[in-house]
Structure 1
Amino acid sequence: MTATNAAGTSAASAASNSVTAATVPGTPTVGAATAGNGQASVSFTPPASNGGSPITSYTVTSSPGGITATGASSPIVVSGLMNGTAYTFTVTATNAAGTGAASVPSNSVTAAATAGAPVIGAATGGNGQATVTFTAPASTGGSPITAYTVTSSPGGITATGPASPITLTGLTDGTAYTFSVTATNSAGTSLPSAASNSVTPATVPGTPTVGQAVAGDGQASVAFTPPASDGGAPITSYTVTSSPGGLTGTSSTSPVTVTGLTNGTSYTFSIKATNSAGTGSASAPSNAITPASGQTIAFANPGPQNFGGPTTLTATSSSGLAVIFTSTTPAVCTITSSGALTSFAVGTCTIHADQTGNATFAPAPTVSRSFSIIAAVPGSATAIKATPGDTQATVAFIAPSFTGGAPITGYTVTSSPGGLTASGTGSPITVTDLTNGTSYSFTVTATNSAGTGAASSPSNSVIAQPAPTGQDTTATASASLPSSMHVTANATSGPFTGITIVTPPPSGRAVVKGLDILYIPDPNITSTQIVTFTYTLTNASGTSAPITVQVTVMPSSQKVSDLERPTLWNRGREPDRDQGLSSRVAAWVGGAE
């Protein structure tokens, strides 16, 4: 550098520091402006020329407002904007020489926040879907809401729409769901609403299976089986429809009654099921029925009945048709269709009275009556047989075949005359304190918990007496002659029913002939012998103690004359002495030993 004045120009100074001549930068190329919540992000491209000096910063300026933000590179965020206001932006570049010209304005953007949460409304289920209503949020966040999204729980299934309501599809029938809603604007997606009410998507139920239709008086009762599928929602009702006539009846369970039918007209019926989704298809037609006039049965309870008693129950129908009886307790009682009752045990007997109807009358409602079968007194014992004894009699009998329905607890035997009694639990029973020599007969009664039955027929007559007693006897006999002894002559307690040889004689034979004993000596004895044997007497009361007979037998060779022959002999000749003893006995007593 030199200095000049009037005198002239000075010498040059020393050299300065080195510098580069420069100008302000060129204009940046503005890019896209993107709105945010109270701000905007502005992108740009640096200018083609930095004016010969490095660009040190870029400044973005809003319009309106002139709000600025500076940065070293793109993009630059301008904050402090007012949500809901539309802005454009310009960009300038600065270097050591200064700030260059502003770019053209950017696209217009409006700063905004996310919208508030929508207000949930009602959810309504459908077939595999649900429709959800809602109210827009109070705040849009400064930017128009562009869409609403409904989300299911469970499953996270979504559907989007511009406004309420929105329908979600793809749901599973029978599954309960709730739903929430979000709103979306340029700033993003809002928080979700509260959960909706719970709904269960469903379709109409399947088809019920029609059962038996039963005619009544101007009506019909129709049974059915629910469908295999309820469509995902509980079935609320079933509707039965008549054909002809289209008359209906509704119920929540089987059977369904349809009224208003015309007696004498034939009808069939179909049935449909309804749930919250609607009504399903109709079943196939039922069996055909013809309603008829009703009838009732009058059947009075007969009250307690004696076991085994002859009982006939009666009942009448209002139609005049015959009533049919059946028993539901066959172990206790049975009954014929006409009412003849037979009891088998003590207990409760239950009888049904029915009338099945005809072309004019419908079946009557069953009338059931229960009553007690109570024990009766037993029947009479049979085969009464008395056996006398000493001041007593033993009475045997067969128990009655009819017990009265209760165990027989005892029997009583009563004498006639005298009315003397004895009791026991079975046969035989002995009646004591009778008067010997008096003829008695006896009756038997049986007793159970119901009382004492009728007396039996009288027994045979017997005379109370002791067993026989006899006297020991002595006799003399010749060896060639039998000795006949009327041993009952001096015995007591007759009449006698028999004689029994107890200890036979050691020599000869003792033979019973009627109520006598015939002693036949041994014809071969050569000296006098004393022969002893015993016997007993029997009467209706018993048997005596053994009674002794002692016979003195003398040997003899004398010819037996016809005058000496005992009256018990059955032969007209003297037996041969040389015959054996058995042959001689047979000849004398005719083989009746």
Structure 2
Amino acid sequence: MSFSVPSRRVAALAVAASGLAAVLSGAFAPAATAAPTTTSAATAVVAAKSSWFVDPRTPAQRRAEVAVPRKPAAYRGRVRETRAVYRTRAGALAVPMRFAFGHQVAKGQALTLDGRGLFSGGSNTLTTPAKAQLRRLADSLANASKVRCEGYADYSGPASKARSLARSRAAKVCQRLATVNPGLRTSTVGYGSHRPAVVGGTPRQRQLNRRVVVEMTGTRPAPATPSTPTPPPVPPVPQPQVPGAPVLDHVTGVDQGVYYGFAAPTSDGGSPITGYQVDSGTGWETVQPLLGRSAATACRGACGEDLIYASLTGLTPETTVDLRVRALNGVGAGGPSNSLSATAFGRPSAPTNLTVVGDDGTLTATFGAPEHDGGSEVDSYEISYDGGEHWSSADIDSSAPYTVTKTGLDNGTTYDVRVRASNQWGSGPSASAQALVATVPGAPTLEQPELDGTSAWVVFGRPESDGGTRIISYELSTDGGETWRPFLFTDIEPFVYATTVTGLSYGESYDVQVRAFNDRGRGPASATRTITPVTVPDVPTDVVATASGSTVTIAFEAPSFDGGSEITGYQVKVDDGDWAAAVLDGNQIVLGGQTWGTHVYQVRAVNVVGASPSATSNQVVLTEPTPMAYRSEYYYSGGQVWTYVYYRTVPGALRYEAQLDGGEWLPISVEADWVSEQRGRVDDPVCGATACTGDRTIRVRAVTAAGPGNPGNSLPVTYYILG
């Protein structure tokens, strides 16, 4: 369906045999017609079926029809006709009302009365031109006994209101027909907005939805055919002349042209009018009268009873033309009509200064009003996000520059945004701009860095989302996001990167974070990973070893630096032996059971990283202790034998042993312990309960942690045998 102004070369000219042009319209438009020839009802039905009662649309227009949608308001885009155009509710053909003028309507035939100019405003009040049209329609229903009026409405308002208004308007039409055609029975129904003839566009462009369809449902009996009277004498035929001058009724500016309407001359000069010519200041040219809906558009709801409508198109917007018309018959051109002026209008130019900014799932378009409104005020704007494939109304502010925001878009997509302005003549050219919908990247993934002295090996992964545009690079922070710096990194796996952070200080904690950025900005930081560089402690100092018997005491000073981590202990090594954990006694290490000889000791500190360098003590000489026996006594009494020995003690001894006459070493039971001397008893397993005789000797040795020491001097044993 098209609502564009037709070309002045395209509209068809229909001229009746009587010489009056019959301009028929799908809209509510008048046309000049000859008085119908009186025929019988049956003859009228045949004539109607074979001539005037036909679908006015072209095959291409019918192919362009769309199915009646269940939800008309959901349809968007340009105006489209549905399969309800020129149809009754039951689907029967309903031709434009003007087609019936001069003909008789037959039973089962229906007529469509367009809503434009039929009623006043949004009411059910018939206009004066509408009443005149219905009066003429009643002539075409002279043989009707019953009609049915179906009311329809547009879907731009509430459904209940549309249904009520449609029914009341249908009732008004039927009531008017019954008034001017007494005896006509009527029925009324209102279908509201459920069967629109037109979808899409604006409510103003959907006037055809506000229609009333009149269907003839009953026929009156045909009147008796009167006898043919004797014709009167034929008067002499006068000589034909050129036709009289038409009367130019109005000229109206439209989109790139003008519409005009004029009345036929009151006299055809005695010869049928064959056409009309128009002069706009460039010479006379043939008038192409507008038919159907084009004529209705030309009269714009104020159609006169007997006017002919035509147009001049292809004019530059805001061009003013002076028009006059004249009639033609077989004799020639008649006199010109009166002259009227009008200015051609146009559509707006493209909106100005269009800028489009993309954000997170959002586009914001800003634009100014067009430089030219085409001679008619801009009444709306439309915006498209797919290069003009689909358009939607732009919800704008009250004054320029206008801003329109669209949400719910896909990040990473570049949209072709177009904006156009509309006035009463339609939409003008669009302004266009492209913009990428994107946001900042997501947060990278960060693993726990690995320390190597004052360096850290940092591994991180690419964010799950790049925000819709390429990630440019990354930034690093070692102070929990207080400061950031760019850095170089390497690929170690697909979308996994690594870098080395140097210049760290031992013992200082660092909160490491990484973030990505693209051309939209910097994204959020990764999780925080805390690192503290540590190393082994410094070497202990002032290591001094002191021996006492088989015990060595090692004194030292702790390291001046613990490596950044608390010292957890110390280790000691004797000569070339193995390192062993040391037990501290204050700030010194005490080692018992050391072997006799010369030794050196090494000490090192330990923390979570490991052991420090070692410090070596002075040489320590451990002399083997030798106890000195200075008295011995041998007792035998009553069958019991025992030996006492007196000896001087040595440091580090754990116990003492004695050897009698070079035999085995026997334990000494200490019976008296003085400051540096002891007396012990030795049980002699050789003598047993029998006294030994002869010279005997005894030696004493000390047993330390290092084992038995060297034996002391050999001492004779003094015998005391008691009776």
Task: Give the TM-score of the pair, scaled to structure 1.
Answer: 0.38
More helix by share: 2
Q: Which has the larger radius of gyration?
A: 1
TM-score by length of 2: 0.32
